[in-house]
Chain A
Amino acid sequence: MHHPNLTSDVIFGLGFLYLVQLVMNFFWTIRSLKNDGHCRLPSLLGGAEVPVAMWWGLYTAILTMLTAAHFTGYSSPDSFLILLPDWFKSAVDVSVSDPKYFFAQTIAVFAAIILFRRQLATDTAGWILLNASTMFLSLSLTDWDFRQIVGKPDNVPIVGMLFIVGFFTWLSFKKANENDARLAQGLGPLEGENNEKVLVWPDLVYTELIVMIGLTAFLFFWGVCLEAPLEEPASSVKTPNPSKAPWYFLGLQEMLVYYDPWLAGVVFPSTILGGMMALPYIDFNKKGNGYYTFNERKFAISVFLFGFLPLWVGMIVLGTFLRGPNWNMFGIYEYWDVHKLEALNNVNLSEYFWLYGLGMSMPVPDASDSFFGQLCTIIYRESPGILLTLGYLLLLPSLMAMTVFRNFAFRMGFFRFMVFANLVLLMAALPAKMVLRWAFNLKYLVAIPEYFINI
């Protein structure tokens, strides 16, 4: 099926997106002229001293040309040249349409945020990242398939959420860096400086009023611009393909690929909620209360960010934008082909153990045996996985307490530490199973379909 990547409407609409970027960068150039000072050109270009703002001026000029091109050239979409090259699209599609690569990239982003926090959480780096992502979005919108999935009304807020989460992550690290530098010099956090009391009227109530008016206007604007979706009337016989849960549960739905519903749909969500409630009682670190810091709470913030960014937000992105018909993975520029085939041939640990490891046949429970006899055979059959799982949840916490988390175990006490260790292990259970699946096509560690206990 052929769909045009560009139409007149799309080109004209993109003109506004470039216009916004143009205006943003125009003001940034002025700001840069005041604040950023000078830099030296490479000797190839003469080696002269030029204001840093020159680069931003150059980028603004490019955006001006792009805007002009879109507002004037929309009448002939077939000969319009500003669109993503095919080699770029296929490269991006390959890099996101496999869960291995996708998770490797989200974890790389997470690691980069932590490791390069000093370089990334500066004004200039933040602005470059914002420009890079808006430019990526603008160019991607020239692709028909990308527009289908990103332009779905319910998906628009998710795109917005990515920008907002990115912004606030950047902001929090910027403030944490400032405080960490001060704390290293023995000063208190910035939040404690010049912290006089002010009257709530007018200093707080006016802010609240302005925010309320702004939000009301924003909601009306959003409601006028984007119609709420309404599909065909409900039919219990026409199953859509793919069938997706509401977008904020797509991270949980993604877990279903790796774990059975009793874990992915019941035990893990309950553990997430329970674990979050337990968090203030587990975190014994008294520092970092009431101000942004990273250095004083490295472990807590890293674990939380790992849960929130790659595992929660990342999996929502994957579930929303990359999971298509038959729950296959698709690239962001790829057509959602219902007939795309992905060979899935997953093997249970018990099969690995008995069939491939020992070269024996699987122990089969005898139907004429008593209930207890059958149960014993099943447990015997699944013993490798059962031992592994028990070891993971019971033995590993003690090992952790004696090695990497010695200090934690000492300060937390037995009960608190066991809760903490099991929460960390359950959180790690998802990436662990993913790796096992990708590396060994492992289906279940423990496979007891007789009693619906598959792990």
Chain B
Amino acid sequence: MSVGDYIRESQIWKSVFRHPAPYDRRNRVVVMLTNFFLHLHPVSIKQNGIALSYTWCMGGITFFLFLAEAITGVLLMFYYRPTLEWAFNDILALRDVSTLGIMREIHRWGAHAMVITVWLHMYRVFLTGSYKPPREFNWVIGVILLKFTLLLSFTGYLLPWDQLAIWAITVGSNMARATPVLGHEGPGFQLLNIGGYDLITNASDARFLLLGSKFVGEETLNRFYILHCVAIPLAVAGLIAIHFWRVRKDGGISQPL
């Protein structure tokens, strides 16, 4: 008995993988049904549906990049404190001192790549008409995921706390001032007042809600940190699960009827 066979026959191995190695047709079916990570996939699939020239693999790459961002992000969180005192210095240390400093590069470039791949995924889904019935609602979820991808990137933009960061966020968040009714420089903000006293001011409008402050400051850093590391990733993870589940339930990868 070879070493490999000895390991595969052991109780430990068998307790982890509940089937023999997928060498024959039967076990290739069984592996898809019994493995948690693989059960997202069907057992068999139309061969033209998985051709790279058809799917461009962009949805899968986006998901992979999300995982890569999560892993590098967690590693970066060990090194980073979201306070005015430390944020910039911690990034400086990541650049110059820390062994895992390259995680910062991978995280940033992965984020740019994810924005691009999510657009390309949408581009492909549109061009193959895959949003048409019965997949309409999964397209809607996809659009929400696209928005969250941009918000993830936007909130992460602030964290290095350098000039690029705060001014990009300042420019971006200034838009919220002009929200109709809810921004203090937006049309119709005067509608919300009680006895001549304006409810919408620069300390209570949509921009203040976003920034936690009248300008991009420490409260904003904290707010964006939590959105970036906890709130949005959780929402995205949930939506990804629904998105994938619905791909299966709506009939798998789209193909000619």
Contact = CB atoms under 8 A, between A and B. Distances in A.
Interface stretch (B9-17, B161-169, B222-230): B161-169
Interface in B162-219: 162-168, 170-172, 174-180, 183, 185-190, 215-217
B123 A261 contact: no
Contacts, number: 270
Contacts of A197: 44-47
A164 B120 contact: yes
B129 A451 contact: no
B110 interface: yes
Given A154-B112, A280-B131, A201 B47 contact: no
B56 A168 contact: yes
Contact of B109 (A157, A164, A280, A304): A157
Interface in A100-122: none
A332 B158 CA distance: 28
B178 A266 contact: yes
A279 interface: yes
B128 interface: yes
Contacts of A239: 167
A374 to B, nearest CB: 13
Category for how many chain B residues contact A:
35 or more
Given A168-B124, A244-B168, A262 B179 contact: yes
Contact of B256 (A188, A201, A204, A223): A188
B163 A231 contact: yes
Interface in B118-153: 119-120, 123-124, 126-133, 135-137, 139-140, 143-144, 146-147, 150, 153
B60 A211 contact: yes
Residue among B104, B107, B108, B160 with the most chain A CB within 10 A?
A: B108
Contact of B161 (A194, A212, A234): A234
A264 B49 CA distance: 39
B154 interface: yes
A228 B108 CA distance: 7
Contacts of B127: 172, 176, 292, 301
Nearest to A451: B187
B153 A246 contact: yes
Contact of A280 (B42, B132, B146, B180): B132
Interface string B33-56: 000001001111111111011101
Contacts of A247: 112
B239 interface: no
Residue among A176, A232, A243, A293 with the most chain B CB within 10 A?
A: A243
A207 interface: yes
Nearest to A313: B119
Contacts of A202: 22, 28
Contacts of B43: 199-200
B25 interface: yes
B61 A211 contact: yes
A289 B254 contact: yes
Interface in A215-243: 215-216, 219-220, 222-224, 226-236, 238-240, 243
A157 B255 contact: no
A245 B43 CA distance: 45
A174 B232 CA distance: 38
A288 interface: yes
B163 A232 contact: yes
B234 interface: no
Given A223-B105, A231-B162, A234-B165, A266 B129 contact: no
B113 interface: yes
Contact of B116 (A164, A208, A235, A267): A164
A290 B113 CA distance: 26
A253 interface: yes
Nearest to B108: A228
A260 B22 CA distance: 61
Contacts of A453: 187-188
B256 A266 contact: no
B183 A262 contact: yes
A198 interface: yes
Nearest to B147: A273
A410 to B, nearest CB: 20
A281 interface: yes
B115 A211 contact: no
A195 B48 contact: yes
Interface string A203-215: 1110110011001
Nearest to A154: B112
B240 interface: no
Residue among A193, A239, A281 with the most chain B CB within 10 A?
A: A281
Nearest to A198: B47
Contacts of A402: none
A367 B115 CA distance: 51
A232 B166 CA distance: 11
9 contacts: A197-B47, A200-B41, A200-B45, A219-B106, A243-B167, A243-B168, A280-B135, A280-B137, A301-B126
Interface of B: 22, 25, 28-29, 31-32, 38, 41-50, 52-54, 56-57, 60-61, 64-65, 68, 88, 91-92, 95, 102, 104-110, 112-113, 115-116, 119-120, 123-124, 126-133, 135-137, 139-140, 143-144, 146-147, 150, 153-154, 157, 160-168, 170-172, 174-180, 183, 185-190, 215-217, 254-257
Interface of A: 154, 157, 160-161, 164-165, 168, 171-172, 175-176, 188-205, 207-208, 211-212, 215-216, 219-220, 222-224, 226-236, 238-240, 243-249, 252-253, 260-262, 264-267, 273, 276-277, 279-281, 283, 285-293, 297, 301, 304, 308, 451-453
Closest 5 CB pairs of A and B: A265-B175, A223-B105, A261-B178, A280-B136, A192-B256
